[in-house]
Amino acid sequence: MRARRLVAVLSALAAAVVVPVVSSPVASADPCPGLYVVAIPGTWEPSGTSPGAGMLAPVTNGLPGSVRTDYVTYSATAFPWESNVYAKSKQQAVDNARGMIAAMAASCGDTRFAIVGYSQGADAAGDLAAEIGTGIGVVPPTRVEGVGLLSDPRRSESDVLIGPAVGGNGASGARIGGFGWLSGKTVTLCAVGDLYCSTPKDDFVMRLAGFMAQVSDPTPANALSLRDEAAVIVNDLVTAGGLPALMAQLDPGANSRRVDQLVAFYGSQVHTDYTRYVVDGAGNSATSWLHNWLAGKA
């Protein structure tokens, strides 16, 4: 019974890594812009040239004329019965964003870059930033002006947080190695109460669910990173008391409390309300702050 309950709870939580919103593309006609912004929308968002007005739209709309913004096209799915499971979908976003930056860099030697993403898109944008920041990317870190991550499922407590303090890391665990040379240029925005980017360290059920999403399409290329991330969870679990600590989070009472917690979380819409989530003393929301931040880099 406990095994079946574990699978059911983890599956439900893994399915809840992201929620749908809609995004819109913005692009300048200038073939060699001063700043090229690559935007990666979240799960189930239309991408590429699809119209819409989603979470990243207020971030990218109305930027100075020297800025060109393109949205990344990818499957933006999560479940096995969709076109791609979460990990494969995210990798597609990373690969496509990397290709867009490489093509622009090859054609426009003076163009600088910025990357922004929301939810699954933030997961992908952060992974791409980590590549570039650690020196294995398609452009040197010096050509990247900034990386903005909105509700990043792999947020780390050590990341530069804009807005009120939040606890824990993202549901999928912090990136091993961080952002390297881009650490000072990467900002993360996470609303208080958003479980996707702020999971308590002692919530091992949620952490395991996030890890399951990341390993839903394992490849030789990410095997080492996944091994290290699994080791972090295991070490933390052992420190907390081992398997009995995990089982205590899966007993009937704990399951009931978790259901109540998730119902309250989704009902709050905190994950989909970043256009109104205030992050500074001037009253800027998370999306308006990111917009102004990008505009200042034009």
Domain ranges within the chain, ordered by starting residue: 2-295
Q: Phi-psi region for residue 192, left (φ > 0), alpha (ψ -120 to 50) or beta? A: beta
What is the residue-wise DSSP string for 103-131? HHHHH-TT-EEEEEEETHHHHHHHHHHHH
Residue 72 CA to residue 94 CA, distance in Å, equals: 9
As given in the structure block, the two tokens for residue 119 are 């939810």
pTM (two decimals): 0.78
Mean pLDDT in consecutive groups of 10 residues from the start of the chain, 298 residues: 39 37 41 95 62 77 94 70 68 94 97 96 96 95 98 95 95 91 98 91 69 67 69 69 68 70 70 93 97 96
Q: What residue has token string 């690559």?
A: 38
- Residues belonging to the chain: 298
CATH superfamily of 2-295: Alpha/Beta hydrolase fold, catalytic domain (3.40.50.1820)
Q: What is the DSSP string of 70-101?
A: EEPP-----STTSSS-HHHHHHHHHHHHHHHH
What confidence score (pLDDT) does residue 248 get? 66
Residue 79: what pLDDT?
47
Distance of CA 286 to the CA centre of its chain: 14
Region for residue 283 given its phi and psi (left: phi exceeds 0; alpha: psi -120 to 50; beta: otherwise)? left
> Residue 18: its pLDDT value, please?
37
Q: Write down the pLDDT at residue 31.
A: 84
Report in angstroms the alpha-carbon separations of 58 from 63, 88, 138, 252, 286: 10, 28, 28, 43, 10
List the alpha helices (DSSP H) in 175-271: 204-214, 223-240, 243-248, 252-268
Of 112, 111, 116, 109, the residue nearest 61 (C-alpha): 116
Rounded to a whole number of angstroms, the CA Rg of the chain reads 19
Predicted pLDDT at 42? 82
